[in-house]
Amino acid sequence: MIAKRTLHEGWKLSGDIEAPVNVGGRTVTGDDDSPVNVEWIPATVPGEVVADLLAADLIDDPYVDDTERELAWIGRTDWTYRTVFEYEPEAWDGIDLAFDGLDTIARISLNGTVLGETANMHRRYRFDAREAIREGANELEVAFTSPYAYAEVQRDRLGDRPNAYPEPGNFIRKAACNFGWDWGPNLAGAGIWRPVRLECWNTARIAEVIPRVDVVDGRGILDLAVRLDKAADTDLELVCMLEGRGHVAAVPAGADSAEIRFEVDDAELWWPRGYGKPRLYPVSVDLVSRPDVLDNWHSRIGFRTVELDTEPDEHGRPYQLKVNGEPIWVKGVNWIPDDVLPSRVDLDRYGRRLSQAAAANINCIRVWGGGIYESDDFYALCDHLGLLVMQDFLFACAAYPEEEPFWSEVEAEARDNLARLAPHPSLVTWTGNNENIWGWHDWDWQGDLGDRTWGAGYYHDLLPKLVAEVDGTRPYWPGSPYSGERELHPNEQAHASVHIWDVWNDEDYTRYRDWKPRFVAEFGYQAPPAWATVRHMVTDEPLEAETPAMLWHQKAQNGQGKLQRGLDAHLPPVRDFDDWLYFTQVNQARAIRLGIEYFRSLQPYCTGAIVWQLNDCWPVTSWAAIDGEERLKPLWYALKDVYADRLVTFQPEGDGLNMVVVNDSADAWAGVIGFWKCNAEGRIIGRALVQMAIDPRDKAVLELEPGSIPKDGEFLLTGREDFPRATWFTKEDKDMDWPTARYTTEVAVFDGGVAVTVTADSVLRDLCLFADRLDPDALVDKALITLVPGETVTFIVRSRAIAASPELQQALVAKPVLRAVND
């Protein structure tokens, strides 16, 4: 028998603070040699110190203005959590305290007896509490050492290593982005960040179940590797169920493990989005000592195969993901932690974010190596939604020491997460690190490192060995980017995966077309968040692009300058903050759309694109499509269009112009595509029809006749058909002789919102409706619409507040809510 009881109640928190610091608007003073004890405050578990200090009104919201600047002391403070729980003695063979996540350097004590210590945020821990527990009240204490204090000691002991940021985060197994990033704040605190339980058991318990799945000739094969902790040398049974199919395996005295195989004829396969249904099978294991069930485990699995084809070809080396033998064109986004404070990210929030990804026609999430291994809820939702997951091991943008204790910690962390995440069919690849091999080659590391370790032993030796040993069903790749051979430059575009950052950092976004990549794992372009988010994150008055708080929420090096470079190249001069906000968001969407359209036009040579990034962890100017308060930026709408199964795009070739038609659906696409040539006024001066027939998962390249190609000041656009409208402009908006926007509007109220119909009397370029300016919770169904005279579009706005207010409805159809580039 097993009894599991969460210990999430009654926690309090205290910190030994090196004075003086500012706490709750007052300065706490004391002798430098004698820390000041902050009074015990209520603590939430699971949770983190920053959230508890905020709940106790001891700090201001770190997400507003430059409050973050005042909170550096949190990461340099030792923190102690305590609670008391009741225990009634019973005859248990095992009494364990199980922690699913401790951040990070902790000493665990029960009734004054030290049970153990931890040094890794990214793994689970279990401590034997039999000798320390007592009848009645029990005091449980978790004492955290400052992450900075620990990391700096390790750095000084082992010698410094290069890091993209001047922080010691590579000397502690803690989320690298906790120490700040070019889109995130430095809030490197501590906490019991995942559940904690008291687990009492008799005879034996299930320590681990690793499901390994394969499909052979249509037959689904599930191998369950079960490992037990046994307190008694006795015969046991494992009763295993796979959706109504049963299997009993004996675990004789003297054994602590077993292998169970299920074979399912004509198994229904798990498929990613756009390729079929993500079929899941429930599976369970009961540990039995007749007649008692001692313990149980349950999950869901999917029958599917996954391959990563990286065999060299005549062009270099592909990076082709295949599921069930089917090549997948990866329509991806990079994922960072959805909040700096992970306790805020619950099942509902994961569901909202991943549903937004699916609604944008995304089929793949890359979990980036500077964050965390996400909760089981995240991967289970990806299983259900058919979202592929490419998972990094947690190393990013730095040289990592391989000496102890780090080698052992990395091994334990990898084993733990390989086993924990093994059930999830959505998880299809493991990658050794983010940009560290690239850093060793290109970022002037080698001279600084000398003969010191930097992580190569993890990426090339330890991690591939563990993936094969523990999992054995998923491909591993040493790094992102990585070209497949140590002798090759890791970001060689003809070989496997690349990151494209010269465009954002140094060049115009049209230079994406200068690349010819096999697979793009990172590329991105910045923009500020939605208006309602901006107004919460900064209180500057008047609000301008470079007011102090706006600049604090721009973490990228010369980020504002790079945004301005993009505006100068493409758009008319900004007149005010409203223009700046709208134009930068439009430019972000255009940049990424151009890149993805071009990469998709290269298929099958290019096999996927993963945009940096889907989400934000706080309100900030960044590369995200969904901002830190969960609002959609125009980029999200662009992704929805450019990742659609059926895509038409105009692509230059020499002095000519091609129409590339991509059919990524399971059905053939036959029909007629019409497009128009227009002058700057939007008058149609030429029409053409293209008859085409394209097989499933294929493309066609059609060279336009010279007479169809627009001349200086003219443009092309396709008709409004069953695919996103394609456009081609011969001049940038700043040089185009656009007429002033003219249009009429009509507002119709329905239950829960309004429908706004816009009829164009002139060209309307990238028309958007920013309803969050009137209601922060408003949702709009579309954006970035280009119309010619006589065309109409209807925006559906979900907002009860706007539906109930004639004044808001009037504001809905005027600037700065309704915008076009030529308004």
Assess contact for 470 and 415: CB atoms under 8 A. Answer: yes
Helix (H, G, I), strand (E, B) or coil at 229: strand
Q: Are 251 and 291 in contact (CB under 8 A)?
A: no
**Core vs surface per residue 725-759: b (16+ CB within 10 A) or e:** bbbbbbeebeebebeebebebebeeeeebbebebb
Asked if residue 430 lies in contact with residue 476, where contact means CB atoms within 8 angstroms, the answer is: yes
Q: Is 444 exposed, middle or buried (CB count within 10 Å of its CB: 0-12, 13-18, 19+)?
A: exposed
One DSSP character per residue, 176-224 reads: GGGEEETTEEE----B--S-EEEEEESSEEEEEEEEEEEEETTEEEEEE
Spatial separation of the C-alpha atoms in residues 788 and 767, rounded to whole Å: 11
Give which of 304, 257, 315 is closest to 279, Cα–Cα. 304
Q: Specify whether the CB–CB gap between 97 and 141 falls below 8 A.
A: no
Residues present in the chain in total? 823
Q: What residues form DSSP beta bridges with 280?
A: none
- CA-to-CA distance for 157 and 579, rounded, in angstroms? 52
Among 413, 435, 597, 629, the active-site one is 435
Q: Which amino acid is at 50?
A: V
* 3-class secondary-structure state, position 644: coil
- Measured between alpha carbons, how far is 23 from 77 in angstroms, rounded to an integer? 13
DSSP, residue by residue, 615-669: --SSS-SBS-SB-TTSPBPHHHHHHHHHTSSEEEEEEEETTEEEEEEEE-SSS-E
d(CA 545, CA 580): 7
Structure tokens at 474: 């998923």
- For residue 64 the two structure tokens come to 């507003």
Judge if the upstream peptide bond of residue 816 is cis by omega within 30 degrees of 0.
Answer: yes
DSSP state of 660: E
Find tokens 């995440």 and name the residue.
Answer: 421
Asked if 280 contacts 289 with a C-beta cutoff of 8 angstroms, the reply is no
In whole angstroms, how far apart are CA 405 and each of 58, 175, 410?
35, 17, 9
3-state SS, residue 636: helix
Catalytic-residue membership of 435: yes
Amino acid at 447: G
CA 781 to chain centre: 23
Query: 612: closest CA among 733, 725, 527?
Result: 527
Active-site residue set: 435
